[in-house]
A = this chain, B = another copy of it.
Amino acid sequence: MFKKLANEVKIIEVGPRDGLQNESVSISLEDKLRYIELLAKSGLQVIEATSFVRTDKIPQMADAEGLFAKLKMKDFFDRIDLPCLVPNMKGYELASNVGVKEISLFSATSDEFTKKNINCTIDESFQRMKPVADQAKLDGVKIRGYISTAFGCPYAGEVSAGKLAKVIERFMELGVYEVSIGDTIGIGTPSQVNEYIQDIKSVIALDQVAMHFHDTRGMALANVLVSIENGISSFDSSSGGLGGCPYANGATGNIATEDLLYLLNSLGVKTGVDLNQVVEASKFILEKVNKTSPSKYFQTLTK
């Protein structure tokens, strides 16, 4: 018998941002727009649209302002949440100017990782995020927090639930409505996920937690299963399994939205998302980036 599962799970689709940011093939603004439109048609309620970052660092996201301006004209704009990643006040201002209503801020569980990723310590990352969060709250902009390397770091090695809990607390102090706990290098295992969920309960309500798994070692779905059995009801995923992190070696394989949906559907958990329509979106974008999907479900369906 399963432990009590959530009746409903929220999926945060990260393909257009986390999925595409890493791709060397430059995708046109129109194709990104079409991709997001296809995803929106599937019933997804949250789609991370883009990031307002330094264009010399992540050239794929250089069209963020133009893309968001176009998104505002779409009929789904008022229906769904389209969070955008911002690394600092400059990014926030750009996002805010084009009418972004939800931002994602990010840090990690190890100084080694934040130094490589955003050239500062964890402490400094929160000093940098504080004025952004304060301004966002004044502007009525929702804030989501990302924690990278939550289950292990490519540079610092092991992480502890205690370390993770401390970073979660700092995000809660910033005023985020949700924290996404990222297994950036896909090293987390079901027993670790189980243990960490027990340990973070004292600092955050589980309905404010999203899990962000990578399938690097094939554990993503088992980790989802353990998470949902333990009261988690929000998951980040990327259509077609697109993406990874440019600063984490071996970090291929965001969990595919299709695999996540296949599992959730089989468990009788509602998501409001049409799996076939997600596959259509994935087919579209995979052709543009000229890649095959690492999702086994997708491969089976399309072979």
Contacts and interface: CB of A to CB of B under 8 A. Distances in A.
Interface of A: 1-2, 186, 189-192, 194, 198, 215-219, 221-222, 224-226, 250, 253, 256, 259, 262-263, 266-268, 294-297, 300, 303
A219 B303 CA distance: 18
Contact of A190 (B215, B225, B253, B300): B225
A1 B1 CA distance: 14
Contacts of A186: 296, 300
Contacts of A262: 189, 217-219
Copies of this polypeptide in the complex: 2
A7 B217 CA distance: 23
Most chain B Cβ neighbours within 10 Å, of A2, A218, A224, A225: A218
Contacts of A216: 296, 300
Contact of A250 (B259, B266, B303): B303
A256 B297 CA distance: 17
11 contacts: A2-B190, A189-B263, A189-B267, A190-B225, A217-B300, A218-B259, A218-B262, A218-B295, A221-B221, A225-B225, A250-B300
Contacts of A218: 215, 221, 256, 259, 262, 295-297
Contact of A191 (B190, B192, B267, B297): B267
A268 to B, nearest CB: 7
A167 to B, nearest CB: 23
A217 B191 CA distance: 23
Contacts of A198: 1
A303 B267 CA distance: 34
Contacts of A215: 218, 296
A201 B300 CA distance: 32
Contact of A267 (B190, B217, B250, B296): B190
A191 B1 contact: no
A219 B189 contact: no
Contact of A222 (B189, B250, B263): B263
B250 A2 contact: no
Contacts of A267: 189-191
A257 to B, nearest CB: 12
